[in-house]
A and B are shown apart, each in its own frame.
Chain A
Amino acid sequence: MRRISREPSVVITLALLVGLMFAFIIYPQVQVVLVPGLGGYVSFLAEQTWVKPFFNSLQVMCLSTTTAVILGFIYAYAMVYSKMPFKPFFRVIGVLPLLSPPFVVAASYILLFGPRGVISYFVFGQSPNILGLGGLWGVQTIAFFPFAYQLIADVLARSDARMEQAARNLGAGPWQVFRTITLPMARPGLLAAILMTAIYIVEDFGNPALIAGQFTVLPTQAYGLISGFGDVSGASVVSTILLLLALALYITKTRIEGQRSYVTISGRAGTIPRPPVPMIVNVFCFVACSLLAILILMVYGVLFVSAIVEVFPVKWTPTFKHFEFLTSNITPMQNTLVYGTVAAIICALFAMLLGFLVQRREWRGKRVVDFIAIMPAAVPGIFFGIGYATAFNQPWLDWIDRGALITISMIFWNIPVAYQAAIAGLQQIDRSLDDAATSLGAGSLRAFRDILFPMLDGALLTGFVTAFVRAVTTLSVVIFLFTPSTTVATIKIFQLINDFMWGGATAFTVSVVGVAVLVLVLVWTISGRRVGLQRTQ
Chain B
Amino acid sequence: MDNITRREFLKMVGAGAALTAAGLAGCAPTPTVAPTKAPVAAPTAPVAPTIARPTGKLSVYSALNETTNNEFIKAFKAAYPGVDVDLLPMGAAGELQTRIRTEKASPKCDVFIGGSSEFHDPLGKDGLLEAYKSPNAATVDATFKEANGLWTGWYIGIFGFVLNTDRFGKEMANVKKPATWDDLLDPAWKGKLVYPDPIKTGGGYIFMAAQLFRFNKDEDKAMEYMKKLHANVAQYTGTSPQVIQLVSQGQFIGGLNWGHDILTTKAQGLPIELIVPELTAFEIGAVSIVKGGPNLTAAKAFVDWVLTPEAGALNVKLSNRASVRKEVPPAPGAPTLDKVKLVPYDRQWASDNKDRILKKWQAAVGM
Enumerate chain A interface residues (CB-CB to B < 8 A): 9, 12-13, 47, 49, 52, 107, 110-111, 114-117, 129, 131-132, 208-210, 212-214, 216, 220-221, 223-224, 226-230, 232, 310-311, 313-315, 338, 342, 345-346, 349, 352-353, 386, 389-390, 393-395, 397-404, 407, 443, 445-446, 448-449, 453, 479-480, 482-485, 491, 494-502
- Could you tell me the distance between the alpha carbons of A499 and B250 in the complex, rounded to whole angstroms? 19
**When the two chains form their complex, are residues A314 and B271 in contact, meaning their CB atoms are under 8 A apart?**
yes
CB distance from A118 to the nearest CB of B (A): 10
User: Lowest 6 A-B CB distances belong to which pairs?
Assistant: A498-B91, A224-B200, A401-B23, A227-B94, A214-B236, A389-B102
Which single member of A116, A390, A400, A498 contacts B92 (CB below 8 Å)?
A: A498
Q: Which residue of B lies closest to A208 (CB)?
A: B238
A129-B234, A216-B199, A499-B66 given; A407·B90 CB < 8 A? no
A449-B5, A483-B86 given; A389·B103 CB < 8 A? yes
Residues in B with CB closer than 8 Å to A314 are: 269-271
**When the two chains form their complex, are residues B95 and A495 in contact, meaning their CB atoms are under 8 A apart?**
no
Give 10 CB contacts A-B under 8 Å: A129-B191, A214-B236, A342-B19, A349-B5, A403-B20, A445-B4, A480-B98, A485-B27, A494-B90, A500-B244
**When the two chains form their complex, are residues B12 and A313 in contact, meaning their CB atoms are under 8 A apart?**
no
Residues in B with CB closer than 8 Å to A445 are: 3-5
Q: Which residue of A lies closest to B362 (CB)?
A: A49
**When the two chains form their complex, are residues B238 and A220 in contact, meaning their CB atoms are under 8 A apart?**
yes
Q: Which residue of B lies closest to A502 (CB)?
A: B245
**When the two chains form their complex, are residues A407 and B239 in contact, meaning their CB atoms are under 8 A apart?**
no
**When the two chains form their complex, are residues B98 and A232 in contact, meaning their CB atoms are under 8 A apart?**
yes
- B314 within 8 Å of A (CB atoms): no
- B35 within 8 Å of A (CB atoms): no
Among B8, B87, B199, B202, residue most surrounded by chain A Cβ atoms (within 10 Å): B199
**When the two chains form their complex, are residues B250 and A223 in contact, meaning their CB atoms are under 8 A apart?**
no
- B235 within 8 Å of A (CB atoms): yes
CB distance from B36 to the nearest CB of A (A): 15
- Could you tell me the distance between the alpha carbons of A448 and B4 in the complex, rounded to whole angstroms? 9
**When the two chains form their complex, are residues B200 and A394 in contact, meaning their CB atoms are under 8 A apart?**
no
CB distance from B227 to the nearest CB of A (A): 14
Residues in B with CB closer than 8 Å to A407 are: 16, 19
**When the two chains form their complex, are residues B88 and A484 in contact, meaning their CB atoms are under 8 A apart?**
yes
Chain B contact surface mostly = helix
CB distance from B32 to the nearest CB of A (A): 9
Residues in A with CB closer than 8 Å to B245 are: 107, 500, 502
Which single member of A9, A129, A453 contacts B1 (CB below 8 Å)?
A: A9
- B252 within 8 Å of A (CB atoms): yes
**When the two chains form their complex, are residues A401 and B94 in contact, meaning their CB atoms are under 8 A apart?**
no
- B190 within 8 Å of A (CB atoms): no
CB distance from A321 to the nearest CB of B (A): 12
0 or 1 for each of B92-133: is its CB under 8 Å from A? (1 = yes): 111101110111011010000000001100100000000000
- Could you tell me the distance between the alpha carbons of A286 and B4 in the complex, rounded to whole angstroms? 43
Residues in A with CB closer than 8 Å to B97 are: 230
- B176 within 8 Å of A (CB atoms): no
**When the two chains form their complex, are residues A116 and B250 in contact, meaning their CB atoms are under 8 A apart?**
yes
Binding stretch for chain A, among B43-51, B146-154, B260-268, B281-289: B260-268
Which single member of B13, B22, B66, B105 contacts A393 (CB below 8 Å)?
A: B105
- Could you tell me the distance between the alpha carbons of A233 and B309 in the complex, rounded to whole angstroms? 39
Residues in B with CB closer than 8 Å to A209 are: 238-239
Q: Which residue of B lies closest to A230 (CB)?
A: B97
